[in-house]
Amino acid sequence: MTDPSSLRAGVLRSGMLAAWGSAWLAGDASLDEAARGVGETPERPPTAVGAPAGWHRQDVVHQVVGLPTEPAAVSLAWALGHLEAGGVQRLRTVLPAPGDVTGLPPAQSFRAAALEAGQGVVTVGSDAALGLVPSEARHGSALEGSVLVVTWQVHALGEVRWVPERLGDADLAFARTLGDATRDLVGLDVAALPRELVDAVRALRSGGGRSPELPDGYAPRARTLLERALAVGDAVDLARATSGAVVHRHDIAGRDAALRELAAAARRAAAASLDGYRPETLARLLAAGQRNDARGRELSDERDGRG
C-alpha cells in the first residue's frame, strides 16, 4: 500500500486529477477517460455498507465537497462541469512539504490542508481560484463489498497568479540536485546506508521507474521527468524507512540533508512535469464540433443520473 504522505501518493491522486481534468477541460479527453485516469473504477452493485448515499459498490469513487453554490457532495464528473462553467481552463498540482511550500497560494485554510496531505490541486483561468485537497476513507467490508471514497474538499483561494516553470529549466535543476545529493549519499560511510538504497541512488542517475498513464498532451520529456521524480521519491521513502547502522554523527546529518534535498527536488520536478500539459491545439479545433456534442451528452447524462 502506498504511504498517503509519499510523493507517489500525491501524484496518483492530485497529479492525476490535474492531468486528466486539464485534458477534459481542453476537450482532449472524455469524462470516461478522465475517470479512468484518476483511478475511478466502473460501478458494480450492490451498494457497499457505509458508502455515500447513491453510490454503488466500486473499488474507488471520487466526490467533491464545498463547491460554490453546491451545498452537497457531487460526483467528480459534475464538479468538472461546474468548474468549466465557472471559467476554469486547467488544473495544476501542488506537492508541498513542511519547510517547502513551493507553488502554494497564500490562503491559510488551503495551505494547512495541502501541507497535511502533502498534495492538492489549484484551478487556473477563473477570477476566483479554488483549491482541492483529497482525503480517503474505506467503507464496507470484504464480505459485504467495500469502496474507497476519495473526498476532495474545496477551498476558496481568491485571485491567484501562476507562472508555470519551463520544463527544460525544471529538468536541468532536477538533474543537478540529483547528481549532488546522490553523490553525497553514496560518499557516506557504507554502514550508514542499506545496500539496496546505495544501488538505487546510483541507478537513479540514468534511469527511472514507471509512472501513471498521462493524457496525450504530455511531451516525452515531461513523462520521463515524472518517472525519474517518482523513482527518487521511492528511494527517499526507502531511505527514511531503513535507518541503517549509522556510525558517525556527521553521517546522520549528511544523510538527512541529502534526503531533504532529494525529496524537495523530486516534488518540484513532479509538479513541473504534471504542469507540462500542452494540448494539441490544431487537433482540438478540428474535433471541436464532435467534442462539444459529446460533452453536452455526457453532462446531460450526469445531471439526469444525479436527479
CB 228 within 8 A of CB 134: no
Alpha-carbon gap, residue 234 to 226, rounded angstroms: 12
Span 69-107, pLDDT tens digits? 888 999 999 999 999 999 999 999 999 998 888 889 989
- pLDDT at site 64: 96
Q: What is the pLDDT of residue 146?
A: 79
Residue 3 cell numbers, joined: 504511504
Cβ contacts of residue 286 below 8 Å, gap of 6+?
none
The band of 166, judged by pLDDT with boundaries at 50, 70 and 90, is: confident
State the residue for C-alpha cell 538504497. 197
Answer yes or no: are the C-beta atoms of 182 and 205 closer than 8 Å: yes
> Is pLDDT larger for residue 260 or for residue 47?
260
- CA–CA distance, 307 with 179 (Å, rounded to integer): 55
Q: Is the model more confident about 17 or about 302? A: 17
Q: Tell me: pLDDT of 291 over 90.
A: no
Determine the pLDDT at residue 190: 47
Q: Is 280 in a helix, a strand, or coil? A: coil
| Average pLDDT score over residue span 299-306 | 59
- Of 62 and 298, more confident: 62
- Say what angle helices 249-274 and 167-186 make with each other, to 10 degrees: 160
Top pLDDT among 220 and 235 is at: 220
Instruction: Give residue 164's pLDDT band: very low, low, confident or very high (50, 70, 90).
Output: confident
Task: Give the global pTM.
Answer: 0.81
pLDDT at residue 283, as a whole number? 44
Q: Express each pLDDT in 3-30 by its tens digit.
A: 656 899 999 999 999 999 999 999 999 9
Query: What does the alpha-carbon distance between residue 123 and residue 130 come to, in Å, rounded to a whole number?
Result: 5
Rounded to a whole number of angstroms, the CA Rg of the chain reads 21
What's the rounded Cα separation, in Å, for the pair 174 and 185? 16
Q: Does residue 231 surpass a pLDDT of 90? A: no
Where does residue 87 fall: left (phi above 0), alpha (psi -120 to 50 degrees), or beta otherwise? left
Q: Does the N-terminal peptide bond of residue 4 adopt cis geometry, omega within 30 degrees of 0?
A: no
Q: How confident is the model over 128-161, as pLDDT tens digits?
A: 899 999 999 988 776 667 788 999 999 999 888 8
- Among residues 244, 242, 249, 257, which one has the least CA distance to residue 190? 244
Where residue 268 falls among pLDDT bands split at 50, 70, 90?
very high
User: Average per-residue pLDDT in the chain?
Assistant: 80
Q: Tell me: pLDDT of 289 over 50.
A: no
pLDDT value for 90: 93
Of 2-6, 127-131, 197-201, 228-232, give the lowest mean pLDDT range: 197-201
Q: Which of 12-21, 38-47, 137-146, 273-282 has maximum average pLDDT?
A: 12-21
Q: According to the model, what pLDDT value does residue 19 have?
A: 96
Q: Which pLDDT belongs to residue 1? A: 45
Grid cell 523513482 in the structure block, residue: 231
Q: What is the mean pLDDT of residues 220-227?
A: 92
Q: What are phi and psi of 76, to 5 degrees?
A: -65, -40
Which pLDDT belongs to residue 201? 60
Q: Tell me which of 76 and 261 has the higher pLDDT.
A: 76
Can you give the residue ranges of every domain in the chain? Answer: 7-163+288-306, 167-274
- Report d(CA 118, CA 136) in Å as an integer: 13
